Structure 1
Amino acid sequence: MIKEVENAVKKIGAKRVVVDPTSTLLLQFDLAVAVRGGLNKISKSLEALGCTSILTTEKPESLGMTTWKNVEDFVLDGIIVLYSRAEDGKRIREVEVEKMRGESFLTGRHPFRITNEGVGVFSMPKYEPSAASEERVSIGSESIDKMIGGGVFRGDCTLVAGPTGTGKTLLGVQFIKNGVENNEKGLIISFEESPGVLIRNAENIGFNLEKAEKDGLVKIIHPSTIDLIPEEFLSMVKEELNGADRVVIDSATSYSSAFKDPASYKDNLVTMLQLFKSRGITPIITSEMPELFGAFKITNSGTSFIVDNIIILKYVEVASEIRKAISVLKMRGSQHEK
């Protein structure tokens, strides 16, 4: 077989060779030393021909075998392992580089997706340090700006939390509107409302969001959390940040549902907020509070500990009437109205 491969390589002048799968050949051997010898012959013959080669194989344990497990560690220059598992009704695919001789590589398992364009691997973006800004950015409402000392610091993240119907999304859109009016580009990441609904509702505050989007001043992204890969989402967001000055994420409640545990969500959110801060981009994140009245919990995911500022929108009963109220719970580095 090796001779046939050599002849085929020489005939067309091939520089890349894929043998898929080598396990078909190696199953004829019973002992690990024989498997090692077989792999060595294949790899060395291809190397002598000046070919870069990929040899695929099933993991021995998946074939019910243990006799030649891990012998490839001693023979081949690089080892890439693909994993596939079911989790919460989803198929999770991951890749891990176990060995790459003479090269530094990213350790750990990383999710990947198979698309029409091939295999796409997504790793967490590296932490990017940033300096604190003294510049204030308007929240989009003069009265709220007064409550928080003249606006939020550029790059700081503001959490807007409240029960359904209190106007969290609208405040976020108003924030983007103010940015457009000050020649600042905005990015809206909406996990809940579609672009059409956002455009329609923006008209209620005199904002032609559709025109702003066509003019390239605003970008609306409407991802689904059903098959969302957090690392893929972060990579996508990072690409969309070029030129953006303001970001609205609506909502953290929906976004957190894509994670298997709160710790993974918080790690991901910290990385994303640092991407914003290092670029001087000012974000607003909305979050749903289940309690309509009385005592409340800001989030169920620990978001409140990560963000710089917290604005609460809530319902209050005044003289047997239901009214809306706003309070500033946290404003890092600023005096604010309680």
Structure 2
Amino acid sequence: MDADPVTPQYAHTGVSGLDDVLVGGLSRGNVFLLEGSPGTGKTTIALSFLIAGAELGEPCLYFTLSETASELRTGALSHGWRLGEEINIFEVSPSESLLDADQQQTLLYSSDLELGETTQMILGEFERVRPKRVVIDSLSEIRLLAQSSLRYRRQILAFKHYFAGRDATVLLLDDLTSEAADKTVHSVAHGVIKLEELSPQYGAERRRLKVLKYRGQQFRGGYHDFAIRRGGVSVFPRLVAGEHRTSFARTQMTSDVAELDALLGGGVEQGTSTLILGPAGTGKSLFALQFVVAAVKRGEKAALFVFDEELGLLFDRVRIMGIDLEAMRKAGNLHIEQVDAAELSPGEFAHRVRTSVDHARAKTVVIDSLNGYQAAMPEENALVLHVHELLQYLNRQGANTFLTVAQHGLVGDMKTPVDVTYLADTVILLRYFEALGRVRRAISVIKKRTGAHEESIREFRIGSTGLVLGAPLEEFQGVLRGVPTFVGNSAPLLSSKEG
């Protein structure tokens, strides 16, 4: 019989981001396995799957072998969900006679009777409800009742053929608490999704998922971060920059500071990334904010992600210089977010940056700093790959990205915790140097892919009016080493009154 053309090809999971990973959802009429250790979010995803079906008017059935119906409903309420009449919860429990010592058989194992009786209860309830979506929680109980791998495989195959003949989409949950190495269901299921929980040395647990198998269906490979919060599970699909391309005019964006723009050869081109390097306190954040202010003045929107500094302190500090970030935010021109590296996964951070560009239409994005971003990474060697994809994505959306990196040390030989200079289109270097009995600051552009730039080194000051840049320091040698040598006749240094 031909399928109803109104019926969607996929059963949407109801989980934000998961359908994107599955490239559509769960193909209807098939059996899928959702596996993971206890606490990884299997039940929450399963309930979301049934709620999504109930919203379409589809009858749904949840078989629970390990939790009670009351526990399930309480768990749903913790997310603000009230399970309606479309979602039937059936507790699969052994017959009381099997718990009575006087009624137990002596020639058969009690598990033989329990497995058969459990199967009959499941099939009987299915025939009564005739659901379109089914969840069986969990396979560990059935595996224990089956006793052997052969009986277990036969039982799962029987379930598969039974449900397939009745056009039901089935989600099997496995908590991996017994014989976790048994891959029986992997070969039987149409698709397999694995959930994992990572425990960093400090901070909240991190969760990620991976689609191990999906017959006849393309899906997004690799690991995808996800989080469980009130309201359910949110999956953050791994960012693939090559999937996001837009066309835009590559015009030059200025900072509204004439000397800085001159140093940059007129400004930075739209759709490029700029890395600002320097030791602590040199003014990396202020340089990035200068481009934010200029963008807002042009009528554009901007986004600022702060890892290292408390927002209240940042607002007060830059307000003295005439930069009112709070006013920009209230006017809807600036999205500001304080990022807690201990609580946020890299995938969720990339998702938030994407949202600021896709939905808030931000054209200038500041990430302050990569040191904080690095702290959010479960593995340091993956940081460069994350930054690469994020920068490529932002560049292809026509956004100007500014990243700051705090180098170790103050003067002399500087150590960079992570080297991403080859990824950035423009690299600005800030330094302290000593001259005439004072500690001063210097700025230079050491790389710009998109055009020419000044090769000089300029002094700059942070004053009450913001950034003030001086003339090129042509009378000094060794400024970048921190202790320069004066080789000229006059020192064109900024006076203490300038700025």
Assess same fold via TM > 0.5.
yes
Distance, in Å, in 2 between the alignment partners of 1:9 and 1:177 is 62
Q: Give the one of 422, 427, 430 matched to 1:310.
A: 427
Q: Give the one of 139, 155, 159 matched to 1:38.
A: 155
Distance, in Å, in 1 between the alignment partners of 2:388 and 2:190 is 36
1:28-83 deviations in whole A, cap 9, x for unaligned? 33432211111112222233333211111233xx42576xx212133222222222
Aligned to 2:447: 330
SS of the residue corresponding to residue 320 of structure 2 reads: helix
- 8 Å CA contact retained: 1:130, 1:277: no
Residue 156 (structure 1) aligned with residue 272 (structure 2) = yes
Shift of 1:191: 0.6
* Matched AA of 1:97: V
SS of the residue corresponding to residue 300 of structure 1 reads: coil
Question: Gaps spanning 5+ residues in structure 1: where?
Answer: none
Aligned to 2:397: 279
Cα 1:309–1:133, aligned 2, differ >3 Å: closer, same or farther?
farther
* Matched AA of 1:50: D
1:102-140 deviations in whole A, cap 9, x for unaligned? 322222333322222222222321223577964211134
* CA RMSD between the two structures: 2.2
Q: Give the one of 193, 218, 221 matched to 2:337.
A: 221
Cα 1:38–1:267, aligned 2, differ >3 Å: closer, same or farther?
same
SS of the residue corresponding to residue 332 of structure 2 reads: coil
Distance, in Å, in 2 between the alignment partners of 1:330 and 1:188 is 24
Aligned to 1:205: 321
Aligned to 1:189: 305
Q: Give the one of 218, 229, 238 matched to 1:104.
A: 218
SS of the residue corresponding to residue 63 of structure 1 reads: coil
Q: Following superposition of structure 1 onto structure 2, how do residues 54-93 of structure 1 map, counting pairs within 5 Å?
A: 54-59=171-176, 62-64=177-179, 69-89=182-202, 91-93=205-207
Deviates more, 1:19-28 or 1:193-202: 193-202
Distance, in Å, in 2 between the alignment partners of 1:93 and 1:209 is 34
Q: Following superposition of structure 1 onto structure 2, how do residues 228-307 of structure 1 map, counting pairs within 5 Å?
A: 228-242=344-358, 243-297=361-415, 299-307=416-424
Shift of 1:176: 0.7
* Matched AA of 2:264: I
Distance, in Å, in 1 between the alignment partners of 2:386 and 2:286 is 25
1:303-329 deviations in whole A, cap 9, x for unaligned? 212111111222111111111221222
Deviates more, 1:42-51 or 1:123-132: 123-132
Deviates more, 1:14-23 or 1:4-13: 4-13
Aligned to 1:49: 166
* Matched AA of 1:185: K
Distance, in Å, in 2 between the alignment partners of 1:189 and 1:12 is 50
Deviates more, 1:120-129 or 1:300-309: 120-129
Relative contact order, higher structure (CA 8 A, sep 6+): 1
- 8 Å CA contact retained: 2:241, 2:390: no
Distance, in Å, in 1 between the alignment partners of 2:430 and 2:188 is 63
TM-score, L = length of structure 1? 0.91
- 8 Å CA contact retained: 2:250, 2:271: no
Q: Give the one of 124, 127, 130 matched to 2:241.
A: 127
Give the paired residue count.
333
SS of the residue corresponding to residue 205 of structure 1 reads: coil
Residue 319 (structure 1) aligned with residue 436 (structure 2) = yes
Distance, in Å, in 2 between the alignment partners of 1:246 and 1:137 is 10
Shift of 1:10: 3.7
Distance, in Å, in 2 between the alignment partners of 1:190 and 1:169 is 9
Distance, in Å, in 1 between the alignment partners of 2:286 and 2:149 is 65
Cα 1:99–1:228, aligned 2, differ >3 Å: closer, same or farther?
same
Cα 1:131–1:264, aligned 2, differ >3 Å: closer, same or farther?
farther
Deviates more, 1:19-28 or 1:256-265: 256-265
Deviates more, 1:211-220 or 1:305-314: 305-314
Cα 1:50–1:64, aligned 2, differ >3 Å: closer, same or farther?
closer
Deviates more, 1:87-96 or 1:277-286: 87-96
* Matched AA of 1:25: I
Distance, in Å, in 1 between the alignment partners of 2:446 and 2:180 is 60
Deviates more, 1:314-323 or 1:107-116: 107-116
Q: Give the one of 172, 178, 196 matched to 2:288.
A: 172
Shift of 1:266: 0.5
Q: Give the one of 138, 150, 153 matched to 1:21.
A: 138
Deviates more, 1:308-317 or 1:194-203: 194-203
Distance, in Å, in 1 between the alignment partners of 2:280 and 2:195 is 42
SS of the residue corresponding to residue 261 of structure 2 reads: helix
Distance, in Å, in 2 between the alignment partners of 1:198 and 1:212 is 14
Distance, in Å, in 2 between the alignment partners of 1:65 and 1:31 is 14
* Matched AA of 2:124: N
1:249-273 deviations in whole A, cap 9, x for unaligned? 1111111122244431010001111
Shift of 1:100: 1.9
- 8 Å CA contact retained: 2:276, 2:405: yes
Aligned to 2:79: none
SS of the residue corresponding to residue 56 of structure 1 reads: strand
1:166-213 deviations in whole A, cap 9, x for unaligned? 211112222111111111111111112233223222322322221211
Percent identity between the two aligned chains? 28
Cα 1:329–1:180, aligned 2, differ >3 Å: closer, same or farther?
same
Cα 1:34–1:231, aligned 2, differ >3 Å: closer, same or farther?
same
TM-score, L = length of structure 2? 0.63
Distance, in Å, in 2 between the alignment partners of 1:266 and 1:131 is 26
- 8 Å CA contact retained: 1:234, 1:272: yes
- 8 Å CA contact retained: 2:140, 2:178: no
